[in-house]
Amino acid sequence: GNSVTQMEGPVTLSEEAFLTINCTYTATGYPSLFWYVQYPGEGLQLLLKATKADDKGSNKGFEATYRKETTSFHLEKGSVQVSDSAVYFCALDQGGKLIFGQGTELSVKP
Amino acid sequence: EADIYQTPRYLVIGTGKKITLECSQTMGHDKMYWYQQDPGMELHLIHYSYGVNSTEKGDLSSESTVSRIRTEHFPLTLESARPSHTSQYLCASLGVRADTQYFGPGTRLTVL
């Protein structure tokens, strides 16, 4: 079946550091891919998405590129801020249902 | 910003109690979902609905039940809560023209 695997956390970075959170997937076909963010005490918010191979999703300085050849959708940001501290989830769409990775907690220190 | 609401936000109850977690959306979305989120953060789909009078079980088996009598409302009920039900429950919806699910703020349930 379809699945999503994320790098384990927690990830701790200093402010202005470069961020990469790895995400790989297993799927039949080419599902849409998403990154969601969950701030403390809140629900999930869509951060960015890509619907086909080589698409790049971007939002708030975050980027991820849909790589068919490596079945990956890694999340990157060039310079993180304290306010980026949250849990990040990679997900794929399976016929209207989302399959999530296990989440990666990011902590950014001033 | 998506208009999807969950109440209560926090609930602490004793074992054996019956509870209903409320979820409402004002976007007219046909599809609605319930996810259970472990303390370790993983999210699992426990119920979904593709419209009024349609409900299906998700990938993770759950003792909870759901109903969909109105488009905007998708409550989840536990007939007899147990400590193993302690978790965060997230509701989401998806419309025909929406390209992803919109999530409510969640209900954090603790069963003593």
In tens, the pLDDT along A75-110 reads 999 999 999 999 999 999 988 889 999 999 999 999
From residue A93, alpha-carbon distances to A30, A73, B28, B40 in Å are 9, 13, 21, 22
With an 8 Å Cβ cutoff, is B33 touching chain A? yes
* Distance separating alpha carbons of residues A100 and A90, to the nearest angstrom: 6
Q: Which residue has the tokens 């501290």?
A: A85
Residue B104 has pLDDT above 90, yes or no: yes
Residue B95 has pLDDT above 60, yes or no: yes
Closest Cα in chain B to A47:
B100
* Distance separating alpha carbons of residues A52 and A66, to the nearest angstrom: 7
Whether the link from the prior residue into A40 is cis, omega within 30° of 0, is: no
Of B6, B94, B103, the CB nearest to A44: B103
